[in-house]
Structure 1
Amino acid sequence: MASNFESSIQRGCDFIHDFSCSPCEENGFNTEAHHYCTQCTKYYCQNCVSKHNVLYQKHAVLGRKEVKKWEAAPGVVDALERCGMHPGEALKLVCGDHDQLCCSVCVAIDHRQCSKIQHIPDVAKGVQRNIEFQQIPKKIAEVQKQFEKMKEARLKNTTSLKKTRAAISDEIKTIRKRINEILDKIEKTTLQDLDGMIAELEKKLKKDIETCDKMTIELQNMIAAFQTKAKSSESKSYIAYRKSQDMISQANDHLRGISTIECYNVTFQANNLIEELLSAVKTFGEIEEQTVMTKQREDPLSDPNHVFSVAEYKEYNVKMSDDKDQCAIRGVCEMPSGEFVIVDWNNCKVKLLDKEYRVIDHCDVPGDPWDVCHIDGNEVAVCVDNELHFINATKGKLITTRKLSFSHGCTAAAYHSGQLYISCGFALYVYTMSGQKVKMLYEDKSGDRTVEKCAISNDGKTIYITNYDKNQLITLDNNGNKLALLTDPDMENPAGVHVTPAGHVFVCCYDSDTVLQVDKDGKKKLATLARKEDGLYGPRDLFFSSSTSSLIVGGYKDTLVVIKLN
């Protein structure tokens, strides 16, 4: 029935209705009809029916409640036979060139040049004897059954998600309980230390009080004895005099011993590390959506070891008119908006590029910018000597907001789950966002550039490091344990490394002028995607843009090389 064919499919800014207002349609408007006139055999919206009723007061107008009578009325096109593009027109023709049902308006507008236009009655001859026609109800029933199964699976999935939510909630509560127990233990230890110190001080105070009481009594007794002896013989008075002097001397010694300490006090200096560490952690753990794809829907690019091929190479000039030296692009990252931030080492600049790789803004930094990484939202972090500068890219402008200083060099940076991974050239450190050092994850002092750049996998479990000095790509777990070490003839002085959210790993190499794709385990080269003859010169960093399936490579050139991948 027509009511079952009402559609919410939007075409441009118009909706396809099961019945459209005839006057509105004649004037180029697409308005849903709520009335049908049996005499005019036309449809009317609320506005148009009021005008119609003034002119034709005796016409029989049917409302939506009588929509079945609309379909049965003479001249009304059944919804199944109505053109989807022109609802007021009946489907009468078939375009063989486009294998499409058409009305006369469709043919006049869109199929004027087509050579295989046939009337439906001619094409439809014998269709009811066709086996495929006879099987249509069965096929519809099968599809309907699949939707019912899909609905059932989705309902089960909804129930399982609720159970998962409850299980994760219980796990979070368990973690919270363990943290509370740790904090309770810390509090108990701290209070025990406090109680022990207070008890020791009270013991000293008690001893001083007892000394004061004892000396007060002894001095009182001495006064009484002295006054008695002073009235006796001179010999007894002399003895009383000498003993009184001894007593006074002894009492003064006690006073000096006690009075050296005016009072005892206890202070407390809070350990801010606990608060800083907890403040830097935003969640109890990573909550990830896991989608189980059916085999027929699996995307080959979801395989982290899918080998890319190159579609084209292009170069984009990023040199500014006031740049004093040739560009040396040592860091590249992409913003959520599709803009790019690059660091130009030679010209001490951070540059903001639009989606066409044109420089739209820049800011100077007080030193050599070694690397840049995206933090979150519109924020990036730029390595400048032994500092990390945080910069916001908002509305086409770069604004520096704050910085962190380190006791070591800061030559490369990566960000993952609220933590910063900072390289000094030969070691990789983990820091909180407030600059508190968590740990040194990895160290190799056999050279100055054994940790040139690093990249973190999407799940945070794998870390890739380029060893510039030894021509190696090193793969670590998140505890700093070495998982793999890769060398290759095309890997001379590897500089930049990048891992995509899907797990594809790319490396650019300075001396061999190459861009390589490596397997996700970091154990073998999958492909050499670019060489010097493709436009590379001294590549220092690279970034894969998922939105354009392109590698953006920066190096010692005034241009970025953009490699479009298949």
Structure 2
Amino acid sequence: MASESRNMHCGNCSRRSRYNNAVKYCTDCEDALCIDCLDVHGNIKLCASHHVINVEAVDGKVFNISKSCKIHPDMVLEYFCSDHDTLYCRSCMASDHRSCDKLLPIEVAAKGVKSSTMYEEIGNDVTTLTSAVQEFEDQKNKIVLNLNDSKIYVQDSVKKMKTQLQERIQEIEAALMSEIDKLHEDLSKESADDIGKIRDHRKNVQNISEQFNSISKHGSESQIFMMIHNIKEQLNCHVNGFQQLVSSQKNVSLSFNESKLLSVMSMVSSFGTVEIKESSLNIDCKPLKIHQAQIVQQQRKIPAQFKLDVKFKAAGAYIAGIGATKDNRLFLCNQTDSNLYVMSDKGQQLATIQMDGPQWGIAMEEETNSAWVTLPDKHSVQAVDVVTMRKKGQLIKSPGRCHGIALIDDQIAVGSYGRIYIMCKTGEIKKTLDVGGSEVHSISVGQKNQLYYAQGNIGKSTLKSVGLDGLVTSISAENVNYLIGVKLDRIGNAYLLECAAAHFKIYSFEDKSIKTFLTKNEGLNNPYGFAFSNDFSKLCISNCNTKEILVFQCT
């Protein structure tokens, strides 16, 4: 490809049937330039800020950045929304980003992208995935070699028995050897197929790696920024496919179990059995953790005003936890009976999900289309599909009654009486954190995986968190009363719901202050749960006494 680049003709000249060799390439114009055209290009005001690189660096296969909007293919990506962490065009701005606080041109948002956390993490993810695929292929090749060695070992074992079994050996040897060969053939074919798939993954990841390295070295900040967002989805796709392939693999070989042929010669119909020995492969491939670039990250402002938009009831049920989806559907946990209600933020009932008992807390995991719901009376957690709006999976048992719930990495934090249990999604208890007091009604995860928790039966107390090491820390100097709900946002604020006093408060980690924003005057009446919409434009609060859901507009 490098030799092709050196022979590239000037695009402007070629369109005029002249074939001058190019010396530079403009990545904004996507055109090669000869010496003369380069001089003209540099003197055009519109092109003065364009990114020009040596023509040798151009590789049509690698240096390829999509500038078209996925939603509006005929439009060019021009802006970045930090609220939604996405690139968008002018049409998207008008339809989806009117209420967003920070809309920046890509050139502005991309400033300093090479020093951002996201750039570093993308680079690490590309390197990690490349290494994992290579390690997987190496291990699979070793498995094939070991499979061949095990075949020879088993066949030797069979031949040794042959000399002892005399007449009977001739009758059964062929059948057993055929079985061995068939198993070996099938396993070898499976391994060969798997190696082919692995190589496909390696080629795909190598292409991404080459693209990343090429654009990192020669691209402009805008192009690097766009490239990062373009390959996030590709990386996630490859990681998911690669994880599925890895999870289906076993370390296979053949072994031979001798039967007691010598003592029961007349009764034997075979030398023994051929078994497949399996063990899991140990490939280090974790899900990607691609975050917004810290240097360009522009977060939402704290909601400062709340205006009641609508209030409604969910079939007269006492609602505790509330989960909100990206499309503003509300999953309402019902303490009255086993019905979990799904409603719009305007009060329209969309579905009723029959759970295995009354519910309390809910944690949304839309990446897997799941919501995790606590069933206190059943001492269990149960999953719900947020797309089909149906119950899925069996009950996951907790050591005690469970109320609050949160997701921490790929595990579940469940609040019980004076304890928080860290559980696998299969129910295995990984850690028990002793926080004392009474029931843990709500849990929220901080940026460093510390767990902020609310215990609604305790009168005066401070906002507290507990680390995974079990250390409990008091966060606020000012007391909160009967704190039943706590949630954190991305910019260092905790939202607090006091049930008995019917107060909704905000704690600022920056100035360590607690401010009250909603009280009984705004309609709160023994509130039990709350949730923000994904863009923090709406706040939903459940009133236990009035059995109402209040929906506030946030500004």
TM-score (norm 2): 0.49
Higher Rg: 1
TM, length-normalised to structure 1: 0.48
Q: Which has the higher contact order (CA 8 A, sep 6+)?
A: 2
